[in-house]
Amino acid sequence: MPAESAIVPWCDPVQWDAWVGHHGGRPLHARRIIKTLARKPLSDLADVELPRSLRVALAAAPPLRSRIAQRQVAADGTVKLLVQYPDGLCVEAVLMNGDRPGCCAACLSSQIGCAMACDFCATARGGLRRNLSADEIVEQFFWLNHHAEAADCRIASVVYMGMGEPLANLAAAEASIRFLTDPRWNLLGPRQITVSTVGIPAGIARLAEAQLGVHLAWSLHAADDALRRTLLPAAGHWPIAQTLTECRRFMQQTNRYVTISYCLLRDVNDSPACAAALSGLLAASGFHVNLIPLNQIGTGLSGAVYHPSDKQTALNFQQTLIAAGLPTHIRRRRGQDIAAACGQLQGAHAADKSAAPYGA
Ligand code: SAH
């Protein structure tokens, strides 16, 4: 049998029902299989009532094609998985404790590597290797959900903030969101999902048109085009004003809010003047602002080394925005000791020998 025909199309609702039907199953079996794969290891399918022919077909072509190449657990409980695909390439996916007990948050990667070249982000260093398909994105959710289930925790939010730029791989990101929010599996509602983008205007417009019901986060990091170009070279193609207009339209068309992500870099974008410029740019617009403490990654692609702002500077910055009427939070750092925090994902094996292999 050629390798391609072994791929089970479980991520496409129409093809999946047809595949299950072709192997003697019914829609209820199609639903049962997905519900099990999403929550438990594959071996648990043995306990699911299925026609024999369907069971044989599934045994011949295991539906999940990725594997966990490494698992690390941080001091704060954050879990980072290195997910490896059949071509050997890897991404990282992260499970964090949520704000409420019993709830956690999942961070998914949308591409292997990234072409956006953001100067303070570790993912940028290796460039873009390839796009992920929808099922490859969803498999990350499945693996994280198995961990959550084992820990008696419910994934209450999913952010597309891992490796890659989701709007540069929008068809797959969209299909993965449609799958995750499909009411048949009862996994997530669209409001529990946030897509984070460097700010590609055409992608934001397409995401709004798709009416997925998800939230959007725009990684802005500077209120001024010249400074932004030095930090986010690829995003420099799109003037701030153009993306801002698209974000406003997104809010009108979808009735979902847009969060502005702003990573505070000491002596680069954290001065009172920068805070005033950001307030002026966003005033009276309905945006929320998330200030992100920089997670240090060493030297950026340009050769620059960035440092996090000190605590008081961050608090002053926050106060300026709040005084301008912008709800502003400072994001909590998570999983820094295992390089699982924002901007630290590289899709590579950690040298850390204490990292436990999956299942250990
Ligand atoms: N490409 C998307 C999603 C991936 S990056 C985007 O740009 O939004 C997820 C978030 O982490 C972005 O806001 C990004 O700017 C931020 N980030 C990147 N490097 C970081 C670092 N070293 N410390 C803190 N946040 C970082």
**pLDDT digit string (tens) for 307-340?**
999 999 999 999 999 999 999 999 988 888 888 8
pLDDT of residue 170: 98
CA 10 to centroid of ligand 1, rounded, Å: 31
Ligand 1 atom at minimal distance to the Cα of residue 114: 1
- Per-residue pLDDT tens digits for 236-262: 789 999 999 999 999 999 999 899 999
Q: How far is the CA of 260 from the centre of ligand 1 (A)?
A: 11
pLDDT at 359 over 70: no
Do 199 and 216 contact (CB within 8 A), yes or no?
no
Q: What is the mean pLDDT of residues 61-90?
A: 95
pLDDT exceeds cutoff 90 at 20: yes
Predicted confidence at residue 26, as pLDDT, reads 96
pLDDT band at 207 (very low <50, low <70, confident <90, very high): very high
**Which residue owns the Cα nearest ligand 1 atom 19?**
343
Q: Which atom of ligand 1 is nearest the CA belonging to 116?
A: 1
Going by CA atoms, what residue is nearest to atom 9 of ligand 1? 161
Instruction: Name which residue leads in pLDDT, 41 or 163.
Output: 163
Mean pLDDT of all residues belonging to the chain: 92
pLDDT of residue 43: 76
Indicate which residue's Cα is closest to atom 17 of ligand 1.
Answer: 343
Confidence band (pLDDT; 50, 70, 90) for 4?
A: very low
pLDDT for the residue 80: 96
**Nearest protein CA to atom 11 of ligand 1, as residue:** 342
Q: Determine the average pLDDT of the residues in 22-26.
A: 96
* Closest residue by Cα to residue 209 from 155, 171, 238: 171
Residue range 162-178: average pLDDT? 97
Active site residues: 92, 342
Percent of the chain whose predicted confidence (pLDDT) is above 90: 81
3-state secondary structure the chain: CCHHHHCCCCCCHHHHHHHHHHCCCCHHHHHHHHHHHHHCCHHHHHHCCCCHHHHHHHHHCCCCCCEEEEEEECCCCCEEEEEECCCCCEEEEEEEECCCCCEEEEECCCEEECCCCCCCCHHHHHCEEEECCHHHHHHHHHHHHHHHHHCCCEEEEEEECCCCCHHHHHHHHHHHHHHHCCCCCCCCCHHHEEEEECCCHHHHHHHHHHCCCCEEEEECCCCCHHHHHHHCCCHHHCCHHHHHHHHHHHHHHHCCCEEEEEEEECCCCCCHHHHHHHHHHHCCCCCEEEEEECCCCCECCCCCECCECCHHHHHHHHHHHHHCCCCEEECCCCCHHHCCCCCCCCCCCCCCCCCECCCC
Amino acid 342: pLDDT: 82
Q: What is the pTM of this model?
A: 0.94
- Rounded to 10 degrees, the C-alpha dihedral 302/305/309/310 comes to -170
- Ligand 1 pocket, mutate which of 92, 198, 258 (most atoms under 8 A from CB): 198
Q: Give me the half-sphere count of Cα atoms (radius 13 Å) on the Cβ side of residue 351.
A: 0
Helix 170-180 and helix 201-210: axis angle, to 10°? 30
CA-based end-to-end distance of the chain:
34
Average pLDDT over residues 88-114: 95
Residue 354 pLDDT > 50 = no
What separation in Å is there between the alpha carbon of 63 and the centre of ligand 1? 31
pLDDT in tens, 208-232: 999 999 999 999 999 999 999 999 9
- Residue 196 CA, closest ligand 1 atom number: 8
Residue 185, pLDDT above cutoff 60: yes
The CA 184 to ligand 1 mean position distance, Å, reads 32
At residue 360, the pLDDT reads 27
Q: Confidence class of residue 134 from pLDDT cuts 50, 70 and 90?
A: very high
Residue 351 has what pLDDT? Answer: 54
Q: Measure 212 CA to ligand 1 centroid, in angstroms.
A: 23
For residue 46, report the phi and psi dihedrals to the nearest 5 degrees: -60, -30
Query: How far away, in angstroms, is 226 Cα from ligand 1 center?
Result: 19
pLDDT of residue 100: 86
Mean pLDDT of 35-60: 90
Q: Residue 301: pLDDT band by 50, 70, 90 thresholds?
A: confident
The closest alpha carbon to 34, from 9, 52, 51, belongs to: 9
Q: Which atom of ligand 1 is nearest to the CA of 221?
A: 15
Q: What are phi and psi of 159, to 5 degrees?
A: -120, 135
Residue appearing with tokens 């941080």: 74
The pLDDT, as a whole number, for residue 341 is 81
Residue 39 neighbours by CB under 8 Å, 6+ apart: 145, 146, 149
Going by CA atoms, what residue is nearest to atom 12 of ligand 1? Answer: 219
Query: Separation of 356 CA from ligand 1 center, angstroms?
Result: 27
Has residue 1 got a pLDDT over 70? Answer: no
Among protein residues, the one with the nearest Cα to ligand 1's atom 3 is: 161
Residues with CB under 6 A from ligand 1: 116, 118, 120-121, 161, 165, 196-198, 219, 261, 263, 292, 294-295, 297, 342-343
Is the model's pLDDT at 276 over the cut of 70?
Answer: yes
User: For residue 82, is pLDDT > 80?
Assistant: yes
pLDDT band (50, 70, 90) for residue 44? confident
Q: Whose Cα sits closest to atom 25 in ligand 1?
A: 342
Token pair listed for 52? 């024999």
Please report, rounded to a whole number, the percentage of residues in the chain having pLDDT higher than 70: 96
